[in-house]
Structure 1
């Protein structure tokens, strides 16, 4: 009986070890966005505690962004962002679940390579399909992942008061940068 139990534990641990070898993760990724309009105050923010997980066997990728982690230059903008526009207490996170097309860990080198990534972005209680280029390169045994894409805040039912619509771009430029280990 002890042998069977010991063998079961060893088998379980070896499966867990094999599974974890297929995943690369970071909890210190960066997501930035910019929605500035010329002649008005700069509207941009940065979040440096973003989680990203990549399955290096399949190219499946997932990311989680806590909305209250975005930092603005002006504290009042941060307050309005969380309380009025993104309603961060009601919708505390943004998620992305997708796949990097034609991903092959063995063919990625130290020079930047472009791939296509597609998946679903969940934000403010809505989701939208995203198809965007993603740039990959190995740094030692780690992988740098960089992507840029644009969103329209109307797609996520984010309401901006009429008085501010001329001061905030409807198109929000997003940049994500991860070093998964």
Structure 2
């Protein structure tokens, strides 16, 4: 009888965690960056294997991108990115840990709503506070988070050599599209 009472008590304690522990994740998020300037070759790449996790009960979000996962149209540009700029052997990943303010999954619809998002972006061994807006919607059982923001490579200790500095934008636009499932 005591075992049954203990099991019942354990069930009462864990039930809210089962229903309210709304964890969503993906390993197929898409990150793009664009650092092109007019009249020069496109400087852009895409990473289709970005990992992300969202705790929908409080809006906490974490994103991880392996830097070698970025693909360029030009192989030589990808090689230069990995060896000279991102130094991916030394700094293999970029992370974002933050919060989507005021997120309430019960109020999400297929029509994207705008939320403030803020947190710490760590890349190339440096961390910078990022504050921006994100569009959040729901599609079936997936939460879709999209948006973009800009960063300066110099803020992360990434040096652009003088001879190519006119061919690379001072501000890089990072675009994200995350489809997270339970």
Q: TM-score by structure 1 length? A: 0.90
Q: Distance in 2 between matches of 1:140 and 1:46?
A: 26
Contact residue 21 and residue 57 of structure 2 kept, 8 A: no
**Long gaps (5+) in structure 2:** none
Q: Secondary structure at the match of 1:176?
A: strand
CA deviation profile, 1:145-179 (whole Å, cap 9, x unmatched): 00110001110010111101011011000100000
Residues 117-156 of structure 1 show CA distances to partners (whole Å, capped at 9, x for unaligned) of 0000000000000001100110011110001100011100
In the TM superposition, what are the counterparts of 1:105-116 in structure 2 within 5 Å? 105-116=105-116
Q: Map of 1:48-67 to 2, 5 A cutoff?
A: 48-67=48-67
Q: Which runs of 5+ in 1 are unaligned?
A: none
The whole-number CA distance in structure 2 between the counterparts of 1:73 and 1:87 is 19
1:1-181 paired onto structure 2 within 5 Å: 18=18, 21-181=21-181
1:61-113 deviation digits (Å, cap 9, x = unpaired): 00000000000000000000001101000000000000001111111111110
Q: Following the alignment from structure 1 to structure 2, what is the Cα–Cα distance between the partners of residues 90 and 106?
A: 42
Distance, in Å, in 1 between the alignment partners of 2:112 and 2:19 is 27
SS in 2 for 1:84: helix
Number of positions where the alignment pairs a residue of Structure 1 with one of Structure 2 = 173
Q: Distance in 1 between matches of 2:111 and 2:19?
A: 27
TM-score by length of 2: 0.90
Deviant stretches of 4+, over 4 Å: none
CA-atom RMSD in angstroms: 1.9
Is the contact made by 2:33 and 2:46 (CA closer than 8 Å) also made in structure 1?
A: yes
